[in-house]
Amino acid sequence: MQNKIKIEDFNYPLPEEKIAFFPLEKRDFSKLLIYDNQRIREDVFKNIGDYLPKSTLLVFNDTKVVKARLVFYKDSGARIELFCLEPANSGNIAQELNARNHVVWNCLVGNSRRWTSGKLHSEITVDNHLVTVTAERAKICEDHSEIVFSWNEDCTFANILDYFGKIPLPPYIRRETQQSDNIRYQTVYALENGSVAAPTAGLHFTPELIGSLEKQGIDTAYLTLHVGLGTFKPVNEEYIEEHNMHSERISIKRSLVEKLLNACGKSCVIPVGTTSCRSLESLFWLGAKLIENPSLDGVLELDQWYPYECPIREDITVSQSLTTVLEWLDRHEYPLLEANTSLMITPEYTCRIADAIITNFHQPKSTLLLLISSFIGNSWHEVYDYALNHGFRFLSYGDSCLFFRR
């Protein structure tokens, strides 16, 4: 890193009344702010096709939010809330969701001081069977606890979450979860179970809008990044270089790598959301790692600072990186690339694959706002001031932006 980046430089005043506590009745009727060549325009999201280049590849994150909030009550009546973040001993979320009788997950514990020892129990009905679910705290870590869940019937942990859990709305949405959130805090194309937060830029899309864009000639593709602890971890350090990003699992099919390779120099690649953006940029640097070390195997790992320290970063092209990934997949006969990424995108970062981004308005002093600054630089101040003064709704259930790379 060349410069010390103060997180305070990415602060701004966000009054609570600007935060969207509920979604609009129609997904694609949210407002859309377009920023390109230092020009701000606004429209309605359903018209986003009017602002996309004719040759565009939209990349969506098809992760699906699980009902990760579990509420237990002690014999004393104390309410203990467990927020399931990810498996404690495995990066394979799908495998752990399909586990039966016993799992260990990293959780945030609400009202933690009231649960100093002992087990928590709750009875639920799963497919007409009465199931007793038990939770025991096995370990207290710096920013989470390891919780052992067990149950007495032959059903999966996914079944337990589905029948017992609640959709985990972000903490800044200060209300109880409603039945409608089960649908609205989920993209219409959500497929792969595993996230504890929605990739919210995708919440504005409807099947009809996606179909309309495809008829317009816009190409679409999907990847998977399961949103985990990093989404909820605030930046408490003075300088961003001291912040540790939490690793998240990405899965990218060979067909998407091929599409991206074919798009090189021909199409405008636009990730839908910061999760899709981080996945695409991680893909590029994983290709760089394979060029540097072709013997790597299995689930790859990408450190948050690798792009800034990679010895060949100035020499490698997108085409070289993607071709290397395809050759590696073929050599190992892998149908997809799986990796754990903790990539940190800062204002100093130059995107290799993403040419623009569709995103929501993000919290002050967040790593997501740092990512936005990599697209539009310090102009984010001007853009956010405009949005605050022109009736835009902020955060997860709020309005949308289309930012083209400076």
Give percent of the chain above pLDDT 90. 88
Are the C-beta atoms of 401 and 383 separated by less than 8 Å?
Answer: yes
Distance CA 34, CA 404 (A): 8
pLDDT band (50, 70, 90) for residue 228: confident
Least confident range from 15-24, 171-180, 205-214, 388-397: namely 171-180
**pLDDT(184) > 70:** yes
**pLDDT(1) > 60:** no
Output the pLDDT for position 153: 87
Q: What is the mean pLDDT of the chain?
A: 94
Q: By C-alpha distance, which of 51, 48, 376, 392 is closest to 202?
A: 48
Q: Please compute the mean of the pLDDT values over residues 14-35 and round it to a whole number.
A: 98
pLDDT band (50, 70, 90) for residue 229: low
3-state secondary structure 172-241: CCCCCCCCCHHHHCCCCCCCEEEECCCCHHHHHCCHHHHHHHHHCCCEEEEEEECCCHHHHCCCCCCEHH
**pLDDT(279) > 90:** yes
Q: For the chain, list the domains and their CATH numbers.
A: 7-64+185-404 (3.40.1780.10), 68-165 (no CATH)
Output the pLDDT for position 263: 96
The HSE-up count of residue 311 (CA atoms within 13 Å, CB side) is 4
pLDDT band (50, 70, 90) for residue 3: low
CA angle 406, 55, 221 (to 5 degrees): 95
Tokens coding 68: 């990760």
pLDDT band (50, 70, 90) for residue 317: very high
Question: For 118-149, what is each residue's pLDDT tens digit?
Answer: 999 999 999 888 999 999 999 999 889 999 99
Question: For 248-266, what is each residue's pLDDT tens digit?
Answer: 999 999 999 999 999 998 9
**pLDDT(231) > 70:** no
Q: At what angle do helices 274-292 and 318-332 cross, to 10 degrees?
A: 70
Output the pLDDT for position 234: 74
Q: Please compute the mean of the pLDDT values over residues 147-158 and round it to a whole number.
A: 94
> Which comes out higher in pLDDT, residue 174 or 142?
174
Q: Please compute the mean of the pLDDT values over residues 384-400 and round it to a whole number.
A: 98
**pLDDT(235) > 90:** no
pLDDT band (50, 70, 90) for residue 70: very high
Question: For 75-114, what is each residue's pLDDT tens digit?
Answer: 999 999 999 999 998 778 888 999 999 999 999 999 999 9
Q: Please compute the mean of the pLDDT values over residues 51-58 and round it to a whole number.
A: 97
Q: Please compute the mean of the pLDDT values over residues 140-164 and round it to a whole number.
A: 93
Q: By C-alpha distance, which of 163, 94, 103, 106 is closest to 134?
A: 103
Output the pLDDT for position 351: 95
Are the C-beta atoms of 393 and 40 separated by less than 8 Å?
Answer: no
Place of tokens 């514990």: 109
pLDDT band (50, 70, 90) for residue 4: confident
Q: Please compute the mean of the pLDDT values over residues 148-157 and round it to a whole number.
A: 94
Output the pLDDT for position 396: 97
Distances (CA, A) of 339 to 105, 342, 352: 20, 10, 18
